[in-house]
Amino acid sequence: KQEVTQIPAALSVPEGENLVLNCSFTDSAIYNLQWFRQDPGKGLTSLLLIQSSQREQTSGRLNASLDKSSGRSTLYIAASQPGDSATYLCAVSGTYKYIFGTGTRLKVLA
Amino acid sequence: GAVVSQHPSWVICKSGTSVKIECRSLDFQATTMFWYRQFPKQSLMLMATSNEGSKATYEQGVEKDKFLINHASLTLSTLTVTSAHPEDSSFYICSATPRSMNTEAFFGQGTRLTVV
């Protein structure tokens, strides 16, 4: 059974800091890994998708890496801003399911 | 990217009534759709996998008679919460993937259900 864990569960940083969010999964047989952002009471916003054959993806200040063999992914956020405050979720897709991680609640202080 | 439309975005209903939530893929065909439930400050928990033309596959602990899923076409799946109770109040989100599972999943906007 696939289990997806995110560390840390919560993070509070001052504005301007670079930060790393971690995602680990137990079954390396995945098709892809996706990072999402969720604002309170809202739906999901897709940030980055990494297919299993890829090592990383970049979009603006965001960079996500994937090490499938070790079951890990990281989301790097450069020069954090208060607008980055949200919950960040990673999700992995397998043969029949799309499983979400436990989430990291990020707060960037002005 | 592709669009998945979920309706309604919020609903309030009385205990004992049933509520239907629709999930539509607007510009692609989705052989598989997923339904998730999210409690406050928790992650999304997969409830069931809906495959077009066949019965849904429910995750352990999810009552299939309580949460009826119908995937009648390649663009529409519905979740009906039957005989709703206050403990069913939650945020429900659907997602859909194009025919191949190794492509990106697209998510609806979510439905906030409140049972009073």
The listed range with the strongest mean pLDDT (A14-23, A96-105, B89-98) is A14-23
Contact predicate A110/A13, CB 8 Å: no
C-alpha of A32 from chain center: 12
- How far is residue A101's CA from residue B28's CA, in Å, rounded to a whole number? 26
pLDDT score at B106 = 87
| Chain B residues lying within 8 Å of A89, measured CB to CB | 43-44
User: Which member of A32, A100, A105 has the closest CB to residue B44?
Assistant: A100
What is the 8-class DSSP label of residue A100?
Answer: E
Distance from A32 to chain B by nearest Cα, in Å?
A: 6
User: Closest Cα of chain B to A13: distance in Å?
Assistant: 19
CA of B114 to nearest chain A CA: how many angstroms apart?
Answer: 13
Confidence label for A15 from pLDDT (cuts 50, 70 and 90): very high
Amino acid B1: pLDDT: 65
Total beta-carbon pairs less than 8 A apart between chain A and chain B: 61
pLDDT of residue A96: 65
Q: What is the pLDDT of residue B103?
A: 67
pLDDT(A92) > 70: yes
Q: Nearest CA to B72 among B55, B44, B52?
A: B52
- pLDDT mean by block of 10 residues, chain B; 116 residues: 89 97 91 89 89 87 94 91 96 85 78 96
Q: Residue B35 has what pLDDT?
A: 95
| Confidence (pLDDT) at B42 | 85
> Which of A97, A102, A106, A107 best probes binding to B when mutated, by most B CB atoms within 10 angstroms?
A97
Q: Tell me the nearest-neighbour CA distance from B77 into chain A, angstroms.
A: 16
pLDDT value, residue B99: 67
CB contact under 8 A, B46 and A95: no
The distance from CA A98 to its chain's CA centroid, rounded to whole angstroms, is: 14
Partner B contacted by A40 (CB < 8 A): no
Per mean pLDDT, which range of A39-43, A93-97, B63-67 is the poorest? A93-97
Tell me which chain B residue has its CA closest to the CA of residue A31. B102
10 Å Cβ neighbour count for B105? 25
